[in-house]
Structure 1
C-alpha cells in the first residue's frame, strides 16, 4: 500500500462518508451462491451520492502480472491532496478470452470498491435478522458450503500462495481472519462466502 505522508483528512472524510452512505440494493443474481449481490454500477452510484461532497474520489486501472493473472488497482484521493493507493488484487480468469478478462476486471473493481468504501455488496442475513425471521436465518446460516464454493476458495488460496507465504500458512491465516477453527470442508455457505470475499479483496489473508 502506498499513501501520502498524512492521511488525516482523507480518514476523516472516509469516516463521514461511511456515516452517510446509503447501502445499495442487492439486485443481481450470483450463480455461485444462488443469492443476490450489488452490481458494480450500483456500488459506484452509492459512492457518487456521498463521496464527492466529502472530497473523496477514486480511480481504478487494470493490471496483469508475470503469471498471466488479471488485476485491478485502486487509488483513493481527497481534495486535500492526500491519497491511499491500495495494492492491486489479482486473480486468474476462468476463461482466457477478452470477455473472461473483462468480467474478472468488473468483479475485482466491485470487490475492491466495496471493501474500501464499506459497501455491503454481498448477500448476508441482515434481512432475516431485522425481520425476526429466525427459521429462515437459521436455514441460511446452517446451509453447507457447496463444492463450487469450496473449489473456488481452494483456487484462490493456490493463486495467492507464494514462497514466503505457502498455501497452508495462508489457509491458517484465513481461518484466523474468519475467527473459526473449523476446517473448510465443514464450512457453511456463509463462511465460504466470507472466505472468498477476504481472499478477493486482500493481498494476503
Structure 2
C-alpha cells in the first residue's frame, strides 16, 4: 500500500466513516457453496451512503498482469491526503468476456470491501471468477481436519490477500511494525502460519482485524 506523506486527516475521516457505515446484507446466493454474499452494488451502496460529509472519495483502477485481471482501489481526502492499495488480482477460468467480466466484478467488490472494511468476503463466492478444484477449494495443498473429523477447507489466496491488507492498514493507523501486527494477530487466533490456516481461521482473523481497525479509527475520531 502506498500513501501520502501525511494521513492524519484521512485517518480521522476514516474513523468518521466507520462510525457511520452500515454493513450490507448478504442477499446474493452462491448455489455452489450454498451460502450468501454481498454484491458489488451492495458494497458500493454501503460505502457511498457512509462517505457523505467525510471529505472522502474513492476510485478503482482496472489493471492486468499476463492472464490475471485486477483492480487497484484508491481513497482520497479533501485535504489532499490519499491511500493507494495494491491491486487485487483474479485469474479468470476462461479467456472469454463472461469469465473476464465475472473476474473483474469480483476483484472490484473484494478490493473495495477490503479498503473500507466492509464484511462481504467471508463466504467464498469467487469460485466462478478464479481457478478452483472440483470441490471448490483452492489448490494450495493444505488439508486440515476440523473438530468433527472432517477435512477443513484451506485458506484461500483471496483471504490471504485481505488479511495482509488489514495488517498493513492497522500498522499504518498505529505506526506499528507490520510484522509484529501479523505475529500478534495470528497468535491471538492460534495460527502458526498464515499459509497453513483453514478458511474458518482466516475468517476469524479478518473479523478480529476489522474490529481492531474500527476501534482505533473511532479512538482517533474522539
**What TM-score results when the alignment is normalised by the length of structure 1?**
0.65
CA distance in structure 2 between the aligned counterparts of 1:45 and 1:185, rounded to whole angstroms: 35
Measure how far apart 1:50 and its partner are: 1.3
> Is 2:2–2:84's contact at 8 Å kept on the other side of the alignment?
yes
Change (3 A) 1:32 1:112: farther
> CA-to-partner distance for each residue in 1:108-167, whole Å, 9 max, x for gaps?
11111111111111457xxxxxxxxxxxxxxxxxxxxx931243868849xx9xxxxxxx
Alignment of 1:17-28 (within 5 A): 17-28=17-28
CA distance in structure 2 between the aligned counterparts of 1:3 and 1:91, rounded to whole angstroms: 24
Say yes or no: does 1:149 pair with 2:137.
yes
> What is the root-mean-square deviation of aligned Cα atoms in Å?
3.5
**What TM-score results when the alignment is normalised by the length of structure 2?**
0.60
* SS at 2:107 equivalent: helix
* SS at 2:86 equivalent: strand
CA distance in structure 1 between the aligned counterparts of 2:85 and 2:197, rounded to whole angstroms: 33
Name stretches of at least 5 consecutive residues in structure 1 with no aligned partner: 125-145, 161-172, 198-205
> CA-to-partner distance for each residue in 1:146-189, whole Å, 9 max, x for gaps?
931243868849xx9xxxxxxxxxxxx9x9486424998994x6
CA distance in structure 2 between the aligned counterparts of 1:37 and 1:147, rounded to whole angstroms: 19
CA distance in structure 1 between the aligned counterparts of 2:73 and 2:87, rounded to whole angstroms: 7
Change (3 A) 1:182 1:34: farther
CA distance in structure 1 between the aligned counterparts of 2:110 and 2:204, rounded to whole angstroms: 12
Q: Which residue of 1 aligns with 2:58?
A: 58
